[in-house]
Amino acid sequence: MARKTARRDARAFWLFVGPFVIGLAVFVYLPIGWSAYLSFFDARNTVNPTTFVGLDNYVAMLSNDAFLSSLGTFSVFAVLIVPVTFVLSLALALAVNRLRFARAFFRSVFFLPFACSYVVASLVWKVSLFSGVRYGLVNSVLGLFHLDPVAWTGTVSPPLYWIVLVTARLWLQLGFYMILFIAALHRIPDQLYEAAWLDGAKPGWQIFRYITLPQLRATAVAVLLLNLINAYQAFDEFYNIMGDSRGYPPYARPPLVYLYYTSLGSGGQDLGRGSAGAIILALLIALVTLLQGRVFRFTRVGE
């Protein structure tokens, strides 16, 4: 009887998990494997190369100034977006969680942008808000203060396009991380706050520092890791807001945009070098993620 129940549970398990596993293998692992295979071949305008070049594609990418400078965009975008997203999403979570009415409404309002397409949001930011023309929304607000219109996505100094890129990403993802923090706040036992009050802890900063923040450690590390990985995979907002970005400084073009033009650009489809760059990028993301997890002791957050 127990064996029959185990077989029935196994069939039910694979019935639900099987389609996901097949999709993951076909649409994720197979392309990654094929990309790794192409990186060792001279694959120009073909996905079935025959000329083996070994590590030449990797050497070419690592000695390419344009590719190396695009890697610097990681640091710039991550330094701008990761801490700001973390602080604002945590602040929103604390504020919404303390509401005594309409809490579900505000959770939905802040989470709703996450369901929006990055492409659509990027175009709205570029065409309506930061269009760079006098009648764009932001420039209209500046006009109320008798300030001249600003070319937000132009090659101006300082590079104001970072404001456009960062605000677009913030609007899209703040609600998601806010929900993660709210879920973590609900898991904090009320007894901890009661014990802190009995011990004389003052409401506000002391309670937050010694009770709330330590209890949010696991979620905070997960938010930082997810946010960092998403920053490294930035493409839609750069491609749609900055356009082709080849006339901009190197930091206006992240690696994924550069690899897109290398692999699928009009100047030639060099899938071998593009795949090598993608593997380098994936290894770099994995390395930085592991280092961050090590710094924050991600493997011991449950202790």
pLDDT at position 251? 53
- Residues 233 and 288 sit within 8 Å (Cβ to Cβ): no
pLDDT at position 7? 78
Residue for token pair 């129940």:
5
CA neighbor of 178 nearest in space, from 76, 84, 282, 85: 85
Cα four-point dihedral sign 274, 278, 283, 289: positive
Phi, psi of 44 (to 5 degrees): -100, 115
pLDDT at position 179? 93
Kindly list the averaged pLDDT for each block of 10 residues, start to end, along the chain of length 303. 74 85 89 89 82 89 81 77 92 88 86 87 86 81 85 71 87 91 89 78 78 86 86 81 61 69 71 87 82 64 42
How buried is residue 170: exposed, middle or buried, by Cβ count under 10 Å (0-12/13-18/19+)?
Answer: middle
Cα four-point dihedral sign 39, 44, 49, 55: negative
Distance CA 289, CA 21 (A): 24
CA neighbor of 254 nearest in space, from 286, 283, 277, 224: 277
- Classified as helix, coil or strand, 270 is strand
What is each CA distance from 240 to 75, 119, 253, in whole angstroms? 21, 7, 12
- Residues 122 and 236 sit within 8 Å (Cβ to Cβ): yes
According to DSSP, residue 48 is labeled: S
pLDDT at position 90? 93
pLDDT at position 156? 59
Distance CA 281, CA 278 (A): 5
Cα 108 versus chain centre, distance: 21
Distance CA 22, CA 14 (A): 11
pLDDT at position 89? 93
Distance CA 207, CA 229 (A): 31
Q: Transcribe 103-168 into DSSP letters.
A: HHHHHHHHHGGGGS-HHHHHHHIIIIIS-SSTTSHHHHHHHHTT-----TTSS-SS-THHHHHHHH
Fold of 39-300: MetI-like fold (1.10.3720)
Domain ranges for the chain: 39-300
